[in-house]
Each structure stands twice: as structure tokens, then as C-alpha cells.
């Protein structure tokens, strides 16, 4: 039996899982918070190493043959010509770079130019926007930048003893804003556009390739970003999508090719297996439920869920367009939410509660339709987030999303994906696995909910929502996206 490990260095903690190479069974685990006192967007990367060391304490990695590293995306570690930090790493959804992202978008020619170049429209979190911010606000530091890494790149480089060769993988590279998933190559001209000069970029490794071996003989795989590692840990394949229920929402699916969306609704990322992960974001998801619970004077989402289930599909004609914070999908940045269909018989708390769940899920179904409209197959939907456990979500989602829904059990999926990648790289290096497919570990377990006989009713509810949406916001969606 071989043993591998997966490491996930998120924004606030490090998790490590040690797994059986053949089955993926978790043998032991480690955890440590990052020693960061505040939520600053500027972080000393040494904190990640300190957290890693603490999580791996007590002999956790004893007997481990290979390790994979996943880490927070949308981070920037700027290095000088000697490999030293120019300034602390810029991490997280750094709002300071919002203006820089808009500035970059205009500089290249808008949404279509960017999506054709790198598959995604610039956002504040991307490394390319952080470089632009650095050039505009810290020009002296920017001039010293000779190389740029992301958090997972930097951690792999440190674990290998800071070799001359610096590496990344296609998944992490695709979220920088200067690497194209369609061509599989960097766009150094975009680094120049953002930073004002060229900088060394890490070599992009193939999914099963080895980044290197430590002096102690520990194999380090290519590593990847958290999103790509979680997809690998979940065991996603063609026909699978992930709907993430946070305050905002996202829909991600596995596809065989990179998508170029001139409207900029789709961010086209690469995954950690050789496939692609098109993503569509919504600004409003669980914040719709929380706001509705507060308006109804309820203690929390459990009460809102129970109340919603006292209503019937369609909420007695109430339709909530859930654009409480504006919206990205459809692109309505300055709009507000709308409650339609108010009649005397509909003005009951349970109908408003039901309309909140249906509105949130129809908004996410809109995002799914954007992907389906571009030929992405969606047969199974994994629901992630605490709200996925709500009975109202589980009862309503399958029919509105038009697919089998799986509510997965909580697990460290990014760390598991990193461990699976490590097992893959180890097997390829030993000649026991093919470079074309990762080891066949068991995917995520969870409760399965089928649309069943409710599908026709759900589609009627969805049509009610679409009709209302198109009346209130005509033209916000194209005909293909707005149709069922």
C-alpha cells in the first residue's frame, strides 16, 4: 500500500489529508490556522509555511511518498531578481484592484478582447489586476518585480528548496488573467500591459507531471488552485456541475474545451486533469434567504425553510427576482430585487418564504442555462454550502435545475484533490498509471435527489420566473439563454 498526502492552504488555514494511494481512503488528517491576526489583503507568505509545519506536526507525513499542494487562488507573490519578496503577497478578493481591473479591460478593448485572449474578463481578484494596481500605486515596488508566482506556486517552490525552476499548473495559471486555456500558453504582453514590463512566469506543468523531489525523496506533484483541486477531489466528470451556495453563488461544470464568451458571462478556467471548468457567477444566493428571513422576523434559515414548505410550487403566483446587490448573471449591476405577483391570496408569509427559495434557485438555473446554451452537458448537479442542507433547497432544487442533485457530505475536497493528484504523479513516475487519467478514487458521497414527477411542475415555476424576469428586464438575457 502506498501513501500520499494532499495539502490545502486556504485563505485562513492549512488542511492536510494522508490517503491510501490505491483507494483514496483517508488515513489521518492535520489542521492549523494561519498565524494572521487580521483580514488584511497583504500577507507574509511565511505564515503559510508556519501553518503547514504545524498542520504536519506529530509525524503526520511519516511514510508519505508524494504530496500535492492546492492553495487559495487569486493571490500574487511578487519576487525580485534574487527570488526575495518585493512586498507582502496580495491575496483574496482585493477590492483595491477593482479600478485597476476596469482600467485593464478598457486598455485591451473590452469584454470580447479579454475573453478571446484569456477566457475571462478582468476581475479585482486576478493576478493581472493586482499587477496593474501595484504599477499604479507602488511604482517603486513594481519596478523591482522580476518574477510572479501564485500561492500554490510559491509553496511548491519552497518545499523543493527554492530551485532555479519555478512551476505552476494549467488550473492555477488559468485564473491569473495572463494565461489562455484555449491555447495553453501565456500572454506575456498582458503582463507588460499590467505591470509596465516583463516578468518571469512559472513553467506550466501537465496535470500528472512532477514538480520535483525534495532532498528527503518526497515527490511533489504539479499542484493546483483550490477550485481545481476541489473538482478533482469531488470526482467531477463530463456532465457534472457544481452549484455553490454562498452569500453569492457560482455554477461550474466540466467541459471538453475552453469556452470563449464575448459577453463575459463565463469565466473559462482549466482544470487539473486536462479538461476545462467554465464558471458563471451570480451576486445573489444565500443573501436572498437571509434577507427574506429577516423581513419575515424569523430566527434563521431553518425556520425560513420550514415556512416555505407550507406553501406550494409557484408560491401562489409570487415571483422574487433576487437581484438584491445588483447582478452579474444577467448583467444588471445597478438594479434591485423585485417582488411580483402580489394578490391578496398570495400575501402570506409562507408564500414569500417559498418565493425566496424559488427566486434564488431560478437565478442559479439562469447561470446553468448560460452554460447549457454553450453546449455544456449538465446531467448531475453537486450542491455545496451549508444552505444545501436545508429541506426546502433539497425539495425544490432538482425540478428547477432540471437535473439530479447531489448534496455532498462535508469533506476537505481541495486537500483530497491534491492528494489524488499526488497519487497520479507518483503512479506515472513508477509506470503504474497513465498520464491521461487520474487514479479511480471513489468520488464524493452524499444524498441524491431526483427531479422525478416534480420536473413538469418545476419547469412551470421556472417559466413563471422567466416570463416575469423578461418583462421586468427585457433583453437582459438572449433568446437561447432565456428559453427553457
For 332-383, the pLDDT digits (tens) are 999 999 999 999 999 999 999 999 999 999 999 999 999 999 999 999 999 9
Residue 321: CB partners within 8 Å, gap ≥ 6?
337, 338, 339, 340, 359, 465, 468, 469, 472, 473
Question: Are 451 and 402 a contacting pair, CB within 8 Å?
Answer: yes
Place of cell 497519487: 423
Closest CA to 200 of 101, 78, 117: 78
Q: Is 36 exposed, middle or buried (0-12, 13-18, 19+ CB in 10 A)?
A: middle
Written as nine digits, the cell of 312 is 406550494
- What mean pLDDT value characterizes the chain? 94
Average pLDDT over residues 407-430: 96
pLDDT at 452 over 90: no
pLDDT at 453 over 90: no
Average pLDDT over residues 255-273: 92
Closest CA to 276 of 267, 288, 263, 284: 267
pLDDT at 484 over 50: no
**Cα torsion through 399, 402, 404, 407, rounded to 10:** -70
Give the CA angle between residues 225, 31, 54 to the nearest 5°.
100
Domains and CATH numbers, the chain: 3-222 (3.30.420.40), 235-408+451-484 (3.30.420.40)
Place of cell 433576487: 322
| Rounded-to-integer distance, Cα 321 and Cα 300, Å | 21
Closest CA to 242 of 465, 403, 482, 389: 403
For 154-210, the pLDDT digits (tens) are 999 999 999 999 999 999 999 999 999 999 999 999 999 999 999 999 999 999 999
Average pLDDT over residues 312-337: 95
pLDDT value of position 154: 98
pLDDT at 41 over 50: yes
Written as nine digits, the cell of 459 is 419547469
Longest dimension (CA), the chain: 74
Question: Are 224 and 417 a contacting pair, CB within 8 Å?
Answer: yes
Using omega within 30 degrees of 0 as the cis cutoff, is the peptide bond preceding 297 cis?
no
pLDDT band of 483, cuts 50, 70, 90: very low
pLDDT at 455 over 50: yes
Written as nine digits, the cell of 180 is 489562455
3-class secondary-structure state, position 151 = helix
pLDDT at 66 over 70: yes
Residue 418: CB partners within 8 Å, gap ≥ 6?
6, 7, 8, 67, 68, 69, 70, 221, 223, 224, 229, 232, 233
Average pLDDT over residues 96-116: 91
| Rounded-to-integer distance, Cα 364 and Cα 396, Å | 12
pLDDT at 479 over 50: no
Closest CA to 272 of 438, 411, 383: 438
Q: Is 27 exposed, middle or buried (0-12, 13-18, 19+ CB in 10 A)?
A: middle
pLDDT band of 37, cuts 50, 70, 90: low
pLDDT at 482 over 90: no
Residue 96: CB partners within 8 Å, gap ≥ 6?
41, 124, 133, 137
3-class secondary-structure state, position 15 = strand
Q: Checking phi first, is residue 162 left (phi over 0); if not, alpha (psi -120 to 50) or beta?
A: left
| Rounded-to-integer distance, Cα 250 and Cα 246, Å | 8
pLDDT value of position 262: 86
Residues of the chain with pLDDT > 70, as a percent, come to: 97
For 217-251, the pLDDT digits (tens) are 999 999 999 999 999 999 999 999 999 999 999 99
Amino acid at each position: 500500500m502506498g501513501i500520499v498526502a494532499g495539502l490545502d492552504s486556504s485563505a485562513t488555514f492549512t488542511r492536510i489529508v494522508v490517503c491510501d494511494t490505491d483507494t483514496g481512503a483517508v488515513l489521518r488528517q492535520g489542521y492549523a490556522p494561519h498565524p494572521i491576526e487580521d483580514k488584511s489583503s497583504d500577507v507574509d507568505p511565511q505564515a503559510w509555511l508556519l501553518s503547514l509545519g504545524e498542520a504536519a506536526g506529530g509525524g503526520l507525513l511519516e511514510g508519505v511518498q508524494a504530496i500535492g499542494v492546492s492553495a487559495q487562488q487569486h493571490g500574487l507573490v511578487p519576487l525580485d531578481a534574487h527570488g526575495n519578496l518585493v512586498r507582502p503577497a496580495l491575496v483574496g478578493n482585493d477590492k483595491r484592484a477593482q479600478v485597476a481591473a476596469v482600467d485593464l479591460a478598457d486598455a485591451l478593448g473590452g469584454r470580447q478582447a479579454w475573453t478571446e485572449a484569456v477566457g475571462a474578463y478582468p476581475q479585482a481578484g486576478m493576478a493581472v489586476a493586482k499587477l496593474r494596481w501595484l504599477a499604479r500605486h507602488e511604482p517603486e515596488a513594481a519596478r523591482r518585480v522580476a518574477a510572479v508566482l501564485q500561492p500554490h506556486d510559491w509553496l511548491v517552490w519552497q518545499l523543493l528548496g527554492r530551485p532555479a525552476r519555478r512551476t505552476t499548473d494549467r488550473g492555477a495559471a488559468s485564473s491569473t488573467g495572463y494565461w489562455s486555456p484555449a491555447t495553453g500558453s501565456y500572454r506575456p504582453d498582458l503582463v507588460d500591459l499590467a505591470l509596465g514590463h516583463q516578468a518571469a512566469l512559472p513553467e506550466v506543468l501537465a496535470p500528472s507531471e512532477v514538480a520535483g523531489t525534495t532532498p528527503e525523496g518526497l515527490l511533489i506533484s504539479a499542484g493546483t488552485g483550490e477550485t481545481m483541486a476541489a473538482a478533482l477531489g469531488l470526482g467531477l466528470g463530463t456532465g457534472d456541475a457544481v452549484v455553490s451556495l454562498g452569500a453569492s453563488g457560482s455554477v461550474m461544470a466540466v467541459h471538453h474545451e475552453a469556452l470563449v464568451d464575448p459577453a463575459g458571462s463565463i469565466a473559462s478556467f482549466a482544470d487539473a486533469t486536462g479538461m476545462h471548468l467554465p464558471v458563471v457567477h451570480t451576486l445573489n444566493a444565500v443573501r436572498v434567504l437571509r434577507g427574506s428571513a429577516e423581513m419575515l422576523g424569523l430566527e434563521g434559515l431553518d425556520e425560513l425553510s420550514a415556512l416555505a414548505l407550507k406553501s406550494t410550487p409557484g408560491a401562489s403566483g409570487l415571483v422574487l427576482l433576487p437581484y438584491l446587490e445588483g447582478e452579474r448573471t444577467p448583467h444588471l449591476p445597478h438594479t434591485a430585487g423585485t417582488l411580483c405577483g402580489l394578490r391578496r391570496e398570495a400575501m402570506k408569509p409562507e408564500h414569500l418564504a417559498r418565493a425566496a427559495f424559488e427566486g434564488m434557485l431560478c437565478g442559479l438555473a439562469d447561470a446553468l442555462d448560460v452554460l447549457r446554451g454553450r453546449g455544456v452537458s449538465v446531467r448531475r448537479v453537486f450542491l455545496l454550502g451549508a444552505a444545501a442542507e436545508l429541506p426546502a433547497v433539497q425539495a425544490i432544487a432538482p425540478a428547477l435545475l432540471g437535473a439530479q442533485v447531489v448534496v455532498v457530505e462535508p469533506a476537505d475536497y481541495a486537500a483530497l484533490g491534491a492528494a489524488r493528484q499526488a497519487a497520479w504523479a507518483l503512479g506515472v513516475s513508477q509506470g503504474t498509471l497513465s498520464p491521461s487519467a487520474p487514479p479511480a478514487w471513489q468520488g464524493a458521497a452524499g444524498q441524491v435527489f431526483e427531479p422525478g414527477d416534480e420536473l413538469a411542475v418545476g419547469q412551470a415555476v421556472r417559466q413563471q420566473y422567466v416570463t416575469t424576469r423578461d418583462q421586468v428586464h427585457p433583453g437582459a438575457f438572449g433568446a437561447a439563454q432565456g428559453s427553457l
